[in-house]
């Protein structure tokens, strides 16, 4: 890291100690709480503009009702009524949209809280997501602190917490749960806690369909440990635990489709359901991105996609990311490529960017190895510009994307 940047971060550490105290977890919680208050204010300002509509049950929408729109209504159905034993179909026999597209861990947690408190999903869905988000913030900050230092980790945490789609971290969505489990998983891989990673992989398999990129980053972590076997002896139990971590990713990928099969009696229940959300009634790998790029840029569309792929790989492959460990460099690339393969571009894409938080390290210029210097804006100026830009886009995300415009709209 350049001397100027290191000096800035040392000064930041001292100021944080004076203002927030010396405990890192306390600093993380306080910083994250400030960003959540800002987002809550933005949501509260926009909520009165939400017209009563079919999505909201025809009732007046307050703050809490505003936090359960879109996918939140599906999670409400799951938490309240569970999953259907028969897939709904239109007159042509095609599977229609139904709750089997939505993974069960978050709504089941909400159901437990509902049973304990007697409150409705509307009242607790966003609160559960908010609390899970605090846990995710602590793990994310610790994950970064171990490679780029405390002050830098807190700067990246702020950018993550004010990211344009970060309101999803306190809405009745699965983003905060998925980030909690993901950061715990990556931390377990780095520390070579293979059995912990295995257990977390299974939980991720009940919360988010990201087993493929998880498997790739796990394979890299296992390979790196295998390479050290001559200097750091590899015992039989540890080798078995490494294999278990890989198998855990396989289980994560197959678990929910298998449960959907068992619940409906149809082997392809989950995939048919996912097809109901896709154009043409089926998932088309990578093709929606090509179609969109051609529509926007014509013959240059393929060039744009190629440039995007190069940027994804180069972002984590260059010297600007040298301070990040292999787990943090491989994960966002594998995940980004998976999202492009499995999800078409659309209004949900900004939410899918949250797990790619290591790229924020590069944006701030904090990933350079010792002795290298980024040639553009100073660290603090970059940080301030990005925070302001992200907050502006967050306002747009809430007031344009999240706000439901009757009679139909695109889900964020």
Concatenating the DSSP letter of every residue in 143-162 gives: HHHHHH-HHHHHHHHHHHHT
- Between residues 34 and 61, the one the model is more confident about: 34
Phi/psi-derived region of residue 21, left when phi > 0, alpha when psi is between -120 and 50, beta in every other case = left
Per-residue pLDDT at 12: 56
* pLDDT number for residue 90: 86
Least confident of 27-36, 247-256, 303-312, 365-374: 365-374
Query: What is the rounded average pLDDT for all residues in the chain?
Result: 88
d(CA 15, CA 350): 33
Check whether 338 has a pLDDT greater than 80. yes
Report the pLDDT value the prediction gives residue 32, as an integer from 0 to 100.
Answer: 97
**Which pLDDT value is given to residue 279?**
67
- Comparing 83-97, 163-177, 239-253, which segment has the lowest mean pLDDT? 83-97
Is the pLDDT at 371 greater than 60, yes or no?
no
d(CA 303, CA 129) in angstroms, rounded, equals: 39
Look at residues 64, 71, 77 and name the one whose alpha carbon lies nearest to residue 127: 64
**369 pLDDT tier (thresholds 50, 70, 90):** confident
Give CA–CA dist 245/239, Å, rounded.
Answer: 10
pLDDT for 407 beyond 80: no
Residues 178, 362: Cα–Cα separation, whole Å = 23
Instruction: Evaluate whether 260 touches 274 at the Cβ level (below 8 Å).
Output: no
Q: At which residue do the structure tokens 């301070």 appear? A: 323
Among residues 317, 313, 320, the alpha carbon closest in space to that of 367 is found at 320
Q: How long, in residues, is the chain?
A: 412
Percent of the chain with pLDDT over 90: 67
66-104 burial, b if ≥16 CB within 10 A, otherwise e?
bbbbbbbbbbbbbbeeebeeebeeeeeeebeebbbbbbb
Whether residue 63 contacts residue 44, with contact meaning beta carbons closer than 8 Å, is answered with: yes
pLDDT (mean) for 92-101: 89
**The pLDDT value given to residue 58:** 53
Task: Say whether pLDDT at 3 is over 60.
Answer: no
pLDDT given for residue 76 in this prediction: 95
Which comes out higher in pLDDT, residue 315 or 287? 315
Is the pLDDT assigned to residue 277 strictly greater than 90?
A: no
Query: Quick one: which of 107, 140, 100, 141 has its CA closest to 125?
Result: 107
Domain map of the chain by residue range? 3-402
Which band of pLDDT confidence, cut at 50, 70 and 90, is reported for residue 294?
confident
Question: Tens of pLDDT along 11-31?
Answer: 555 555 554 545 889 999 999
pLDDT on residue 402: 92
Tell me what pLDDT residue 14 has. Answer: 59
pLDDT digits (tens, 9 = 90+) for 100-156: 999 999 999 999 999 999 999 999 999 999 999 999 999 999 999 999 999 999 999
Give the pLDDT of residue 170.
97
In this prediction, residue 378 carries a pLDDT of 77
Find the mean pLDDT for residues 251-274.
93
Largest CA distance in the chain: 68
Among 60, 82, 101, which residue's Cα sits nearest to residue 273? 101
Does this model's pTM top 0.75? yes
Structure-model confidence comparison of residues 280 and 227, the more confident one: 227
Output 6 or 333, whichever has higher pLDDT: 333
Of 86-95, 259-268, 389-398, the one with minimum mean pLDDT is 86-95
What's the pLDDT band for 54 if we cut at 50, 70, 90? very low
Taking residues 246-252, report their average pLDDT: 95
């Amino acid at each position: 890291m350049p001397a100027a940047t290191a000096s800035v971060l040392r000064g930041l550490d001292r100021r944080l100690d004076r203002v927030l105290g010396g405990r890192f977890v306390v600093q993380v919680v306080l910083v994250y709480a400030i960003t959540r208050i800002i987002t809550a204010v933005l949501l509260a300002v926009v909520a009165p503009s939400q017209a009563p509509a079919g999505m909201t049950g025809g009732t007046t929408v307050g703050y809490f009702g505003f936090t359960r729109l879109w996918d939140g209504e599906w999670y409400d159905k799951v938490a309240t009524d569970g999953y259907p034993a028969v897939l709904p179909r239109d007159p042509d026999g095609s599977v229609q949209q139904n709750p089997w597209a939505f993974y069960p861990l978050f709504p089941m947690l909400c159901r437990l809280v509902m049973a304990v408190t007697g409150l409705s999903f509307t009242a607790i869905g966003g609160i559960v997501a908010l609390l899970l988000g605090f846990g995710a913030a602590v793990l994310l900050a610790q994950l970064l602190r171990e490679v780029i230092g405390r002050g830098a980790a807190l700067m990246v945490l702020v950018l993550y917490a004010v990211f344009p789609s970060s309101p999803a971290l306190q809405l009745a969505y699965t983003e905060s749960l998925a980030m909690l489990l993901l950061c715990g998983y990556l931390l377990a891989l780095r520390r070579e806690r293979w059995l912990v990673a295995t257990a977390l992989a299974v939980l991720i398999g009940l919360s988010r369909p990201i087993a493929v990129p998880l498997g790739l980053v796990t394979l890299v972590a296992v390979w790196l440990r295998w390479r050290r076997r001559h200097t750091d002896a590899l015992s039989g139990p540890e080798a078995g635990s490494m294999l278990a971590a890989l198998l855990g990713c396989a289980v994560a990928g197959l678990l929910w489709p298998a449960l959907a099969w068992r619940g409906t009696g149809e082997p392809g229940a989950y995939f048919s359901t996912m097809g109901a959300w896709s154009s043409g009634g089926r998932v088309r790998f990578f093709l929606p991105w090509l179609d969109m790029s051609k529509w926007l840029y014509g013959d240059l569309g393929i060039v744009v996609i190629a440039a995007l792929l190069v940027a994804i790989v180069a972002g984590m492959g260059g010297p600007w990311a040298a301070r990040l460990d292999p787990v943090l460099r491989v994960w966002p690339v594998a995940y980004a490529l998976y999202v492009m393969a499995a999800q078409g571009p659309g209004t949900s894409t900004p939410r899918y960017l949250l797990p790619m938080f290591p790229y924020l390290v590069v944006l701030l210029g904090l990933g350079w190895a010792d002795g290298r210097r980024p040639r553009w804006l100073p660290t603090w100026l970059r940080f301030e510009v990005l925070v302001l830009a992200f907050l502006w886009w967050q306002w747009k995300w809430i007031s344009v994307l999240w706000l439901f415009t009757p009679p139909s709209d695109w889900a964020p």
